[in-house]
Amino acid sequence: MNREPKTVNDDTKGCHVTEPPFRWGLVGLGRIADTEIAPAIAAAADHELAVVVSRDHEKAEQFARAHGAGRGTASYDDLLADDSVDGVYIATPNALHSQQVIAAAAAGKHVLCDKPLATSVGDAEKAVAACRDAGVGLGVMFQTRRFHGMPETAELVRTGALGRVVLAQVEMSAGRNLPKGWRTDPALAGLGTINNVGVHAFDLLRYLLGAEVTEVTAMVDRDEGMSVDTAAAVLLRFDSGTIAYVNANQAVPHSQDDVVLYGTQGRALGRNLSRPNHQGSLIVTTASGETRSEGTTTPGYRLTLEAFAQAVREGREPSPSGVDGLRSVQLTAAIATALDTRSIVQVRPSPG
């Protein structure tokens, strides 16, 4: 694929500079790669899909043709040896993420990993350390941070416009869409709907509140015949004092995908804004009145890809970062302990 530089205006220098496209390698060609990631790369400003990898070489070539990628291959090592590739997007089963992140770091590639970063805290720590030691960027695809209204809500919290946030609630459902394939295998998936859906809610709350979880407890349900959780209700306490509730499930056909922050001076309600490809509204109510903005969650993947590439080009930590991914794995490990012990578990994040 032709890698012609694109001319951009650098207002800080008063001149035009050229910057080549950010070239991606994509490993793992499942549904998310097909319906979300590859289209987001194609839509992203100044990005190209250079190489795609599947264990099935024919599938890789078909995927490459369908999405305008430079080529398909059955070898991850082949992708990593390609000097034209700037960053790797990892969309494989959860248990493979950490080792593939470490391999990419060793090859000098920046890495944007699908969530979760790993299925154990130890593996997540190794992935973060490998990228830090190699001097490459590491991000995790928590695209919900860039859904309509979410950056504005985080700013309301930061500036104190809502007062102290006392309670928060996230309803997050994928509809009646039970885990399939490798997602039904705890050895590959770890937790079920908690890793599939819930981790987005947990990261979103950390982002919106600018706070870390200190305590957690949870209950889950499994549909008959399933080996992983299909619905979860999780309670969390943050170091800011906020108490939060998350409903994450793939079991019900009709959902209400809302985000609500209740503060001592106001409320922010994101109606239908917690899941991809929705139209929704952000309604903010304070003593001065009510404001409403309408928007879509569809660009979340593209905006996260673009922000990641811009961050690594500028030598900044991406948002969400590898440490954000580590915090997520530490939290889900605590949730697993809470489920096993039927108790409230203290969350003590290790250094990133």
pLDDT confidence band for 352 (50 / 70 / 90) = low
Residue 19 is predicted with a pLDDT of 74
Residue 52 is predicted with a pLDDT of 98
Q: Which of 2-11, 76-85, 93-102, 247-256 has the lowest mean pLDDT?
A: 2-11
pLDDT, tens only, 150-170: 999 999 999 999 999 999 999
Q: Given a cut of 90, is residue 8 above it in pLDDT?
A: no
Mean pLDDT, rounded, for 21-36: 97
pLDDT, tens only, 122-136: 999 999 999 999 999
Instruction: For the beta carbon of residue 43, count every other beta carbon within 10 angstroms.
Output: 14
**Residue 228, CA distances (Å) to 119, 182, 190, 222 in order:** 14, 11, 8, 6
Residue 174 is predicted with a pLDDT of 86
pLDDT confidence band for 256 (50 / 70 / 90) = confident
Residue scoring higher pLDDT (66 or 7)? 66
Mean pLDDT of the chain: 94
Beta-carbon contacts of 252 under 8 Å, excluding residues fewer than 6 positions away, are 173, 175, 176, 231
What span, in angstroms and rounded, lies between the C-alpha atoms of 100 and 94? 10
**Percentage of the residues of the chain whose pLDDT score is greater than 70:** 94
pLDDT, tens only, 62-93: 999 999 999 999 999 999 999 999 999 999 99
Under 8 Å between Cβ of 170 and 242: no
Residue scoring higher pLDDT (175 or 8)? 175
Residue 11 is predicted with a pLDDT of 42
Residue 16 is predicted with a pLDDT of 42
What span, in angstroms and rounded, lies between the C-alpha atoms of 183 and 332? 16
pLDDT confidence band for 9 (50 / 70 / 90) = very low
Position of tokens 């190794």? 126
pLDDT, tens only, 301-348: 999 999 999 999 999 999 999 999 999 999 999 999 999 999 999 998
Domains of the chain (ranges; CATH) run 6-142 (3.40.50.720), 144-346 (3.30.360.10)
Q: Given a cut of 60, is residue 17 above it in pLDDT?
A: no
Q: Given a cut of 90, is residue 6 above it in pLDDT?
A: no
Residue 48 is predicted with a pLDDT of 97
Rounded to two decimals, what is the model's pTM?
Answer: 0.93
What span, in angstroms and rounded, lies between the C-alpha atoms of 182 and 234? 24
- Of the candidates 140, 276, 255, 161, the one whose C-alpha atom is nearest the C-alpha of residue 208 is 161
The packing angle between helices 322-341 and 199-209, to 10°, is 120
Residue 7 is predicted with a pLDDT of 41
E strand map for 163-322: 165-173, 213-221, 231-238, 243-249, 259-263, 266-271, 279-286, 289-296
